[in-house]
Amino acid sequence: MIGKQIETVVIALGMPVLVAGRRGAVLRAGCVDFENILRRCATLMLACPSNETTRYLITTHEIQLMQSCAILINVSRGSGWCEADVVKALEKNIIASVGTDVFEEEPANKDKNPFLKGKVKGLLVSPHIAWVSMSASANCVSRSRRMLRRLWQVNR
């Protein structure tokens, strides 16, 4: 679902979209094999479920296949890549940049996580806000409003 929403936005921006087939599976219509995707794409976005078939989709092997101008983005789960391999690739300028809002171990520990241990050139880390659906936002606003009313009544 997230992948389809991303595809809609990217197409609206005029960018071509390639959809990778699952590793080791028969390719569905409209899908491209994963290694071909790695070689061809300037921007690769991971938006897949977290399971055994998606664990460590991106390691040093896959990164070596990518273009040096490649931008790698993970908006699915931290287990989709090996964080240490991704940091090494950035440090060695094997790929251009990385963006993520997920970590292999959450909550992330700044002393253990390779993304957070030091300043990594080409890395953008942002907060994970997937929980912010319309209903979650409306619920948060409603609860806050009730709490503020109660507080206002108590302090009158």
Identify the three-state secondary structure at position 19: strand
CA distances from 155 to 2, 142, 145, 148, 151 (A): 45, 20, 15, 11, 6
CA gap 96, 121 in Å, rounded: 9
Q: Which of 106, 145, 146, 149 is catalytic?
A: 106
The pair phi, psi for residue 66, each rounded to 5°, is -80, 160
Q: Which of 62, 77, 83, 104 is catalytic?
A: 77
Instruction: Tell me whether residue 77 is one of the annotated catalytic residues.
Output: yes
Count of residues making up the chain: 156
Pure H helices in 13-81: 34-40, 60-65
Q: Which of 7, 22, 91, 128 is catalytic?
A: 128
Which residues are annotated as catalytic? 77, 106, 128
